[in-house]
Structure 1
Amino acid sequence: MKKVLLTFVMILMVGVLAACSDGEKNPKEATTKEGEAAGDSGAQTIKVVFKDDGPSNPVAVSYYEKLSEGLKKDLDLDVKFDLVEVAQGDYAEKLNLLLYSGEIPDLIYFQGADKQIADQGLLEDLTPYIEDSKYIKSIMNPYNEARLRNYPYLLWIKPLDNRVPVVRKDWFDQASSSATLMENPTVDNYKAFFKEIVQIGDTKNAVTVAGDIRELDYTFDMAFGINKTWLDSEKGFEHYKVSSQTKDKLEFYRQLYEEGLLDPQYLTKKHDTKQEVFYNGETAVIPGTNGKVIDIYNDRMRVLNGEESQLQVLPPAKGEYQGFGATDISKESRGLAISSQSKNKDLVFQVLDYLASPEGQKLDRLGFEGEHYNVVDGKVELTEKYYGDWYARYWEPNNVEFEVAESTPLLGDAAEKSLLSVADYYSEDNSFVLPEEYVAQWDAMENLYKEYSADIITGKKPLEAFDDYVKKWYAAGGESLTKYANDNLK
């Protein structure tokens, strides 16, 4: 009965969505003046849904007001933005409930669960818009271009979100093993460094992560030979999570755990508690997202522990390969989409393209003049409020066309080094978007991996239990998925 009811509800939802469709998919169609704001004769309204940027957020309201002013001044476009509030909770889930209710904004930010919307033809193919763009096509990264070819509905021009390990520089400078680690960051040299850094910092452990080992994998996967999702073996393509390479990696993590180097409470850590134990000296090393996040960690550490505690970025472990993991190019995992039902599609993309222009970037990257930055002698000087509060909502290209004062850089040394390090080790993955018929099976297979990897690392199960896990993984759907991979991967 539950299945019948669920099917009926989904059919009803699709019907509501389909009923909203009355526009063509031609990207060159003329925009309309639908949604004209009261008192703004001639203004065209774009409805936007963006995580945390509802009308209850005063900074977001100011941001879109200033964006409207910039569009009018620089492009003579009279545009108003109608911000949609998303209910608190899981954003992907709440957003889809909003969309299934029939309210489909013109511009939509997704953070997961977009494919089922795209599969219903409700998201616009961005390819022709980008080809004709003035600015966006020139700021895209190779991985943006590859992802767009594979999945043309989402765009997210940001640095890669790889995790890089960081440590306090004052402790790093005291460690005799630091130079060896930087010159030859083998797994064994990493372990030696971990042991020494615990003694120098008098910490409880060497490294912690937030809840599972994925953050640690960015540093160690490639050293163990895990350079792609599907490894090329004698039997064909094999998923790395059932490979001998993963078994060897789990054995290494188990050793770190047994020797007190890996936080014994890592499974219960959240991102905020992970950061807290790093700042207060209970752990020596944490992985952080390269770029802005490393800057936030660095600034907070210096405030709490003094200037000498600024952060040092550590290299990826070196072994069979070296790097911070292969980059998934199957699709953007998050990003901006244009509704195929919008009557303002050209206008929406004009806004996105403007945000990639020098004028748009000045707002998006720097914030509000007089509050987040000032212009002194032709150079941008960032304020403390910028460092504490501001982030780019839309695009973060590698280069900007405004000059920032050396005394107030967009990113500090550690953050800049983290970006460069990730870029230096860039390589592409061979993962693919999971077909719908495998989704439920994949969830079960993932749960098996999480259970067995946690139990093996913490000693609840012996290392040999990995072989039992592999059998269960294949039985839970891995066999058919592996066949699919071998039939479709080149």
Structure 2
Amino acid sequence: MKKTISYLLVMGMAVLSLAGCGKKIDSGSTVLSTQDTTNDSSSVTIKAVIKDLSADDEVSVKFLEAVSSGVSKELGREVHIELAPISDGTYSESMSLLLQSGEIPDLMYFQGGDYQFAITQGILEDLNPYVNNSTNIKALMQPFNNQRLANYPYLLWLSPDRIKVPVVRQDWFDAAKSSKALLDNPSTENYKAFFKELKENNNLKAAFTVPGDISELDTVFNVAFGVKSTWIKEGDKYVYAKVSNAEKEKLAFYADLYKEGLLDNEWLTKKWDTKESAFYNGEVGVVSGTQGSVINIYNNKMVTQNGENAKLVILPPAKGAAQGYTPGDVSKESRGWAISKYSDHKDVAFAVLEYMAGKEGQLLDKLGYEGEEYKIENNEIVLTDKISEWWPRFHESIANFDAPISSKTPYFSEAALKSLEMVNTYSSFDNAFVIPDEYATNWDASQALYIEFAADVISGNRSIDEFDQFVTDWNALGGAEITEYANTILK
């Protein structure tokens, strides 16, 4: 029976990229762009920076040739996407070095480090006019995308929001007597009772683990304790949530989980790989993962290793002062596509993004090639084993992805689809804003202070009674000044 994916999202995830070199400019120079005209049929090369793709890699070359061919047919002119390597190191650092050298690609993917080029140096194009005149991209835009583009019009990233949800094995969940109470009323007390039973029933090292920081625990419990946004009201003033009374209560709860062995005692040294292996190997019962594609990976790996009964259940956010997963930050996209303000081919660069958001482009981006990642049987798409090695290079969103995929080989597992649905139900927007440059150093120092204090309290090295002193220290590091600024811009 034909299974059609056509899923409307309000919140949703991501990963990927583009890399290369373009027009060279002198620092401080002003270059007026020569835009493509609609009747121009000349050949054009779009120079792009593509993370994780290489001109020396056959898969990368084949993919970009297919994209170039599709865009060429769409525009009626020959378009080539040219990859150029960037230096070794972290991606954001390598991008920064490239741009600071004066080599500005037409089309580029950022994964951090974009702010100085968009705001300080002003080399990134405002994408609002392009999106407003688009068809395919506009159809994929979700409310959080629209908010981010309005606040910061230099990055476009069409993906489910990077909200994490907690998951547990179905067989372990069904065997726990406390699971029904948890679903009926996911209070912090009922979560704690569920964690205890889960650990005891399955002889676990811990009920929950995280990879070195508490953000994956926060997605379950923050809102329940009243930490509903980055800045919360106490009286008639906004205060930073991490120095609020609600945060104090939450950290005390986490310390109890740690003391009782429900939170992994090795959480501070856990990495992504050791967190995931502990989950698959049955050492811990619950982890959090990004809705959509990451949950799909977690589910498929768990089933492969432990059988169909071990498929994943998506757990609800805890309920207390309010209920919800981590609010989505709409101050800006944390990653995404940008176009050079200096490019002579801005319209063509955007046309690449527009094509990949259309039906033909999405099929290539999400499913790869017929005869390799999928085959056609009885007018349905049947995915092959090679699909596990494929990922979307441009747009991860499955909004309006309407492909006749066979129910025998679904694109997303039930758990992945449920995670998208749950985030849609329990989603909200955060009130975070981009910290201005003049506060950035103090802000980084105050964040480091919080991370250290929270880790010490949770691990039992400091008492929660020291919270007031922590707040005093935080304010002295510049927190008071940043809080004063926050109260001038938050309504």
Compute the displacement of 1:56 (Å): 3.1
Compute the displacement of 1:131 (Å): 0.9
Partner of 2:113 in structure 1? 113
Range with greater deviation from structure 2 (67-76 or 256-265):
67-76
Alignment of 1:101 with 2:88, yes or no, is no
Once residues 284 and 396 of structure 2 are traced to their aligned partners in structure 1, the CA distance between those partners, rounded to angstroms, is 34
Q: Is the 8 A contact 2:230 2:431 kept in 1?
A: yes
Report 1:448-463 matches (<5 A): 448-463=449-464
Alignment of 1:219 with 2:220, yes or no, is yes
Compute the displacement of 1:412 (Å): 0.2
Once residues 377 and 66 of structure 2 are traced to their aligned partners in structure 1, the CA distance between those partners, rounded to angstroms, is 21
Q: Is the 8 A contact 1:365 1:396 kept in 2?
A: no
Once residues 196 and 319 of structure 1 are traced to their aligned partners in structure 2, the CA distance between those partners, rounded to angstroms, is 21
- The percent of aligned pairs where both chains have the same amino acid is 48
Once residues 355 and 420 of structure 1 are traced to their aligned partners in structure 2, the CA distance between those partners, rounded to angstroms, is 25
Compute the displacement of 1:258 (Å): 0.2
Identify if the C-alpha distance between structure 1 residues 15 and 76 changes in structure 2 by more than 3 Å, giving closer, same or farther: closer
Compute the displacement of 1:188 (Å): 0.5
Alignment of 1:387 with 2:380, yes or no, is no
SS of equivalent residue, structure 1 residue 232: strand
Partner of 1:92 in structure 2? 92
Partner of 2:70 in structure 1? 70
Q: Please report the TM-score for the alignment, with normalisation by the length of structure 1.
A: 0.92
Compute the displacement of 1:115 (Å): 0.7
Alignment of 1:304 with 2:311, yes or no, is no
* 1:37-66 deviation per Cα after TM superposition (whole angstroms, max 9, x unaligned): xxxx95311111122122133322221111
Compute the displacement of 1:32 (Å): 11
Could you say what the CA RMSD is over the residues aligned between the two structures, in angstroms?
A: 1.8
Partner of 2:343 in structure 1? 342
Once residues 45 and 389 of structure 2 are traced to their aligned partners in structure 1, the CA distance between those partners, rounded to angstroms, is 32
* 1:200-239 deviation per Cα after TM superposition (whole angstroms, max 9, x unaligned): 2211100100111011101110000111111011140011
Once residues 426 and 459 of structure 2 are traced to their aligned partners in structure 1, the CA distance between those partners, rounded to angstroms, is 31
Q: Is the 8 A contact 1:32 1:44 kept in 2?
A: no
Report 1:19-418 matches (<5 A): 19=29, 21-24=30-33, 30=37, 42-119=42-119, 120-418=121-419
Compute the displacement of 1:442 (Å): 0.6
AA in 2 matched with 1:68:
S
* 1:275-332 deviation per Cα after TM superposition (whole angstroms, max 9, x unaligned): 0111111111111111111111111111111221111111111111111121111110
Once residues 329 and 256 of structure 1 are traced to their aligned partners in structure 2, the CA distance between those partners, rounded to angstroms, is 31
Once residues 476 and 241 of structure 1 are traced to their aligned partners in structure 2, the CA distance between those partners, rounded to angstroms, is 14
**How many residues of Structure 1 are paired with residues of Structure 2 in the alignment?**
467
Once residues 146 and 458 of structure 1 are traced to their aligned partners in structure 2, the CA distance between those partners, rounded to angstroms, is 38
Once residues 184 and 392 of structure 1 are traced to their aligned partners in structure 2, the CA distance between those partners, rounded to angstroms, is 40
Once residues 25 and 66 of structure 2 are traced to their aligned partners in structure 1, the CA distance between those partners, rounded to angstroms, is 38
Q: Is the 8 A contact 1:108 1:337 kept in 2?
A: yes
Partner of 1:487 in structure 2? 488
Compute the displacement of 1:121 (Å): 1.4
Q: Please report the TM-score for the alignment, with normalisation by the length of structure 2.
A: 0.92
Once residues 253 and 44 of structure 2 are traced to their aligned partners in structure 1, the CA distance between those partners, rounded to angstroms, is 59
Once residues 480 and 284 of structure 2 are traced to their aligned partners in structure 1, the CA distance between those partners, rounded to angstroms, is 40
Once residues 391 and 279 of structure 1 are traced to their aligned partners in structure 2, the CA distance between those partners, rounded to angstroms, is 25
Identify if the C-alpha distance between structure 1 residues 460 and 421 changes in structure 2 by more than 3 Å, giving closer, same or farther: same
AA in 2 matched with 1:482:
T
* 1:239-273 deviation per Cα after TM superposition (whole angstroms, max 9, x unaligned): 10100100000001000000001011111111111
Partner of 2:427 in structure 1? 426
Higher RCO structure (Cα 8 Å, ≥6 apart): 2
Range with greater deviation from structure 2 (299-308 or 220-229):
299-308
Q: Is the 8 A contact 1:455 1:461 kept in 2?
A: yes
Partner of 1:18 in structure 2? 28
Once residues 97 and 415 of structure 1 are traced to their aligned partners in structure 2, the CA distance between those partners, rounded to angstroms, is 37
Compute the displacement of 1:15 (Å): 8.1
SS of equivalent residue, structure 2 residue 381: strand
Once residues 89 and 266 of structure 2 are traced to their aligned partners in structure 1, the CA distance between those partners, rounded to angstroms, is 26
Once residues 282 and 204 of structure 2 are traced to their aligned partners in structure 1, the CA distance between those partners, rounded to angstroms, is 6
Once residues 392 and 36 of structure 2 are traced to their aligned partners in structure 1, the CA distance between those partners, rounded to angstroms, is 33
AA in 2 matched with 1:361:
Q
SS of equivalent residue, structure 2 residue 45: strand
Q: Is the 8 A contact 2:330 2:430 kept in 1?
A: yes
Q: Is the 8 A contact 2:31 2:342 kept in 1?
A: yes
Compute the displacement of 1:84 (Å): 2.2
Q: Is the 8 A contact 2:155 2:337 kept in 1?
A: yes
Q: Is the 8 A contact 1:372 1:390 kept in 2?
A: no
Compute the displacement of 1:465 (Å): 1.4
* 1:344-368 deviation per Cα after TM superposition (whole angstroms, max 9, x unaligned): 1011111111111111111111112
SS of equivalent residue, structure 2 residue 268: helix
* 1:433-470 deviation per Cα after TM superposition (whole angstroms, max 9, x unaligned): 11110100011000100000000000100111111110
Partner of 1:8 in structure 2? none
Q: Is the 8 A contact 1:163 1:218 kept in 2?
A: yes
Compute the displacement of 1:183 (Å): 1.3
Q: Is the 8 A contact 2:164 2:290 kept in 1?
A: yes
AA in 2 matched with 1:352:
L
* Structure 1 spans left out of the alignment, 5+ residues: 1-13, 34-40
SS of equivalent residue, structure 1 residue 374: strand
Identify if the C-alpha distance between structure 1 residues 81 and 264 changes in structure 2 by more than 3 Å, giving closer, same or farther: same
Partner of 2:442 in structure 1? 441
